[in-house]
């Protein structure tokens, strides 16, 4: 059941009073606070356990408000906003003074997006201002794609959770830096590189490991508790059998149309064979394998076109080095 008008109004009031509201977007659930309230934004960082230098995205109800939150907006940004908003695209622009530096992690730039979800839209319209929101998970872990994931992970740290059902896209927004003459992708996501290039009429580079301190660019981000190892698709059955023989509790992530399924492993989960289905299911199945008690997850990378680029990026980060502390 979608939240009704009364619940949305109550959530907007929580935001006005400096509280935290978790809400659904088409990508993943966000943990929202008033983007102009440094104290409220501070609570977001505390709830996530996230370093305060890592910037948050400001969510707006419509692109017509863009100039209230960013300055020196270039044509490329306007073209992308006109075609892809509401939708899974975040534009990095020069910060308008009304955006508190707490939101931008001290940066003079701000990430802005207009989400495409009726509950997010209703909340943003009722609130009227910008909502600073990272994904509603603990720092470094897998983003939540259901309200239940948020409750399990953040519990009492959130004043209110709006339940809008499972997220349709399933991976986070694509972040495009439009502050220089050549726009670049800082994080692949729900809006594809191909879509962005078609709109701009030019190739766009993916700088997913730029020098800017961006949490999504920490190798260990988007990681479940279990170790993730990437294996070529033709080797995954053999690798799974070998790990199981070593005594590991192996979870295998496979496309539903795989011709062969491993046997004698701890768990097997399948994701739809389409990139959209794979993206939608990805974080949920990683959580599921954790819950099933796997200590090793084996997966293969999809082709890196369309949404496959974002899926591959998240799997690579999940498989990346973890902090030892």
Asked whether position 25 contacts ligand TXA by CB under 6 A, the answer is yes
Q: Which of 34, 61, 109, 146 binds ligand TXA (CB under 6 A)?
A: 109
Interface characters, 135-154, with Mg ion (x: CB under 5 A): x-------------------
Site size toward Mg ion (CB under 5 A) is 1
Q: Which of 19, 55, 251, 284 binds ligand TXA (CB under 6 A)?
A: 55
DSSP per residue over 206-247, as a string? E-TT-SS--GGGSTTTTB-SSEEEE--GGGHHHHHHHHHHTT
3 binds, among ligand TXA, Mg ion, none (CB under 5 to 8 A by kind): none
Residues 6+ apart with CB under 8 A from 165: 2, 24, 146, 147
**HSE-up of 22 (CA within 13 Å, CB side)?**
30
Asked whether position 57 contacts ligand TXA by CB under 6 A, the answer is yes
Phi, psi dihedrals of residue 292, rounded to the nearest 5°: -75, 0
187-216: contacts with ligand TXA (CB under 6 A): 212, 214-216
Q: Which of 114, 122, 124, 186 binds ligand TXA (CB under 6 A)?
A: 186
Pick the stretch among 66-74, 110-118, 296-304, 312-320 that binds ligand TXA (CB under 6 A): 110-118
Q: Which of 3, 19, 87, 111 binds ligand TXA (CB under 6 A)?
A: 111
End-to-end Cα separation, the chain, in angstroms: 41
Nearer to Mg ion among residue 135 and residue 145 (C-beta): 135
Nearer to Mg ion among residue 57 and residue 204 (C-beta): 57
Owner of token pair 């994931």: 149
Beta bridge partners of 160: 21
CA-CA distance, 186 to 111, in Å (whole number)?
11
Nearer to ligand TXA among residue 60 and residue 289 (C-beta): 60
DSSP per residue over 14-39, as a string? HHHTT--EEE--SSS-EEEEETT-HH
Coil, helix or strand at residue 185? strand
Question: Cβ 314 to ligand TXA, closest distance in Å?
Answer: 11
Owner of token pair 């975040």: 90
Question: Cβ 210 to ligand TXA, closest distance in Å?
Answer: 8
159 binds, among ligand TXA, Mg ion, none (CB under 5 to 8 A by kind): none
Dihedral sign of CA atoms 93, 98, 100, 101 in order: positive
Asked whether position 141 contacts ligand TXA by CB under 6 A, the answer is no
**Helix/strand/coil percentages in the chain, nearest 5:** 35, 20, 45
- Chain contacts with ligand TXA (rule: CB under 6 A): 25, 27-28, 30, 54-57, 88, 90, 92, 104, 107, 109-111, 113, 115, 133-135, 172-173, 175, 186, 212, 214-216
Residues near Mg ion (CB under 5 A): 135
């Amino acid at each position: 059941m979608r939240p009704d008008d009364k619940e949305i109004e109550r959530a907007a009031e929580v935001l006005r009073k400096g509280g935290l509201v978790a809400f659904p977007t088409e990508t993943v659930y966000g943990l929202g606070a008033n983007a102009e309230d440094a104290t409220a934004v501070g609570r977001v960082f505390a709830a996530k356990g996230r370093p305060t230098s890592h910037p948050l995205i400001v969510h707006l109800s419509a692109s017509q408000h863009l100039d209230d939150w960013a300055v020196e907006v270039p044509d490329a940004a306007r073209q992308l906003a006109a075609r892809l908003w509401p939708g899974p695209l975040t534009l990095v622009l020069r910060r308008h003074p009304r955006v508190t530096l707490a939101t931008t992690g001290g940066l003079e730039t701000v990430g802005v997006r207009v989400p495409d979800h009726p509950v997010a839209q209703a909340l943003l319209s009722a609130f009227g201002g910008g909502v600073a929101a990272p994904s509603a998970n603990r720092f470094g872990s897998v983003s939540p794609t259901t309200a239940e994931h948020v409750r399990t992970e953040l519990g009492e740290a959130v004043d209110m959770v709006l339940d809008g059902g499972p997220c349709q896209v399933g991976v986070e927004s694509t972040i495009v830096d439009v502050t220089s003459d050549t726009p670049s992708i800082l994080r692949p996501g729900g809006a594809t590189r191909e879509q962005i290039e078609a709109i701009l009429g030019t190739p766009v580079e993916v700088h997913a490991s730029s020098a800017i301190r961006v949490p999504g660019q920490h190798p260990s981000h988007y990681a479940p508790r279990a170790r993730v190892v990437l294996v070529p698709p033709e080797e995954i059955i053999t690798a799974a059998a070998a790990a199981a023989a070593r005594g590991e509790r192996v979870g295998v992530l496979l496309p539903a149309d795989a011709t062969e399924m491993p046997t004698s492993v701890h768990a097997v989960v399948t994701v739809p064979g389409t990139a959209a289905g794979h993206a939608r299911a990805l974080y949920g199945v990683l959580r599921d394998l954790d819950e099933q008690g796997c200590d090793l997850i084996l997966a293969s990378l999809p082709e890196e076109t369309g949404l496959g680029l974002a899926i591959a990026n998240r799997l690579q980060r999940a498989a990346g080095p973890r902090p030892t502390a």
